[in-house]
Amino acid sequence: MKSILMISLHGYVGANPELGKPDTGGQVVYVLELAERFSRLGKRVDLVTRQFEDQPEYDNVHENYSVWRIPFGGKKFIRKEDMHDHLKAFVTNTLAAIKKENKKYDVVYSHYWDAGWAGQKIAEELGISHVHTPHSLGWWKQHSMGSDMDEKEMEKTYRFKERIRKEYFVYQMCNHIVATTLPQVDLLTQQYDVLSKNCTMIPPGIDENRFYPVPSKENDKIRAKYDIQPTDILALGRMAHNKGYDLLIRALPTVFELCPEARLVAAIGGDQSEQDDKGVAGLKKLAKELGVLDRITWKNYIADEDLANVYRAANIFVMPSRYEPFGMVAIEAMACGTPSVVTVHGGLYDLIDFGNQALFADPHRPTEFGAMMAMPLLYPKMRNELSVEGARFARRNFGWTGIAKRMLQVFTSSISQNTMESNLFY
């Protein structure tokens, strides 16, 4: 295996991604890190995505790795839920471009259902193996929302019926699925009829060179720079319903009752996003109703180069998601030595040794979640132990180079199996 065609369609994918823009977050980081590590390991990588607005056709990262943008669907941004309408054009344009450039690949590696559907078509046309990572599952997302939205409004916004139908096609037809959590494996086999032998769990990774602990004196300077106090709780991520920030706000009265000196630093939302601004305004309204607004510092958007230091500066990091395929932000925070309180409604929960590497609770129970956030603030010895053991856990299990090597083993096995099946007809 020498050459990999990676596909990730939605959001602003680039060698230097515009993180925080719509649909541009953890998945983009995941894809770019793997592409970089594959190339370091000697593989030729083309990461194909959508060309729109004024983006160039290529970001030539180095000799072995390029981001290649294929135009389809016009010049305007298309949210991931509406990619259904444009995928056939992407397949046609990509196949034509591959033929024109005389490119050869050994495997297609796709991400999320939109790229998965297109990647399956492309792999079939090229006669090569297709490996897919779902990132999240439509069935899970739909059922996790429960009664929080009107059914018709939910379908109009998220188009779950179309998504799940396409997901089923991809998961049945691709050569192998790489899930990021054990619960995701269970859902793939139970809800999408995936054969266990066709699915492997490999967790996401972290950039070990960026996310690491620093001495206390250095951290004091970092806190002063970012206006973060030693008793602050950090929440960070996109403004999305599944992230559960409203549940976090409801848990704050319990935190402040136990730890009057605590604050919440809410680095929530994207850069210049009206939708995110509207969501944050709703959170502020809720906080005012609960009497905790004056105990929250709103930071809106954290630039990528500041991310590690912001993690380090907080006393604890909190992830209150209603559902979370994995939760890379919590792993990044842990790698920086910041104890984390994570949701029980996500993949990371199953890997954590409670009280040793991190804490977890149900954000749907505000008192429970609030009490768990207060624990590291009340007991410094617990906080120190979580800091050390959490950082060790994150670095030993989630370094990107090790993750990439495991992924390449899956590719090699998939290619061998695909070759054997093809030879049966010749």
Helices within 146-240 (DSSP H only): 151-158, 160-173, 182-191, 216-226
Helices within 25-159 (DSSP H only): 26-40, 87-101, 112-126, 138-145, 151-158
Q: What is the pLDDT of residue 350?
A: 84
Domains in the chain, CATH or no CATH each: 3-205+400-423 (3.40.50.2000), 216-398 (3.40.50.2000)
Cβ proximity of 168 and 149 under 8 Å: no
Can you tell me whether residue 44 is helix, strand or coil? strand
Q: What is the pLDDT of residue 127?
A: 96
Q: What is the pLDDT of residue 168?
A: 98
Q: What is the pLDDT of residue 399?
A: 87
> Alpha-carbon distance 109 to 5, whole Å?
6
> Alpha-carbon distance 316 to 76, whole Å?
39
Q: In the β-sheet with 340-343, what is the strand arrangement from edge to edge?
A: 296-298, 263-268, 232-237, 316-319, 340-343, 359-361
Cβ proximity of 286 and 264 under 8 Å: no
Cβ proximity of 157 and 203 under 8 Å: no
> Alpha-carbon distance 75 to 419, whole Å?
39
Q: What are phi and psi of 297, to 5 degrees?
A: -105, 125
Q: What is the pLDDT of residue 332?
A: 94
Q: What is the pLDDT of residue 424?
A: 66
Q: What is the pLDDT of residue 426?
A: 57
List of the chain residues with pLDDT < 50 = none
User: Alpha carbon 130 to chain centroid distance?
Assistant: 21
For 235, half-sphere exposure in the C-beta direction (CA atoms, 13 angstrom radius) is 29
Mean pLDDT of the chain: 93
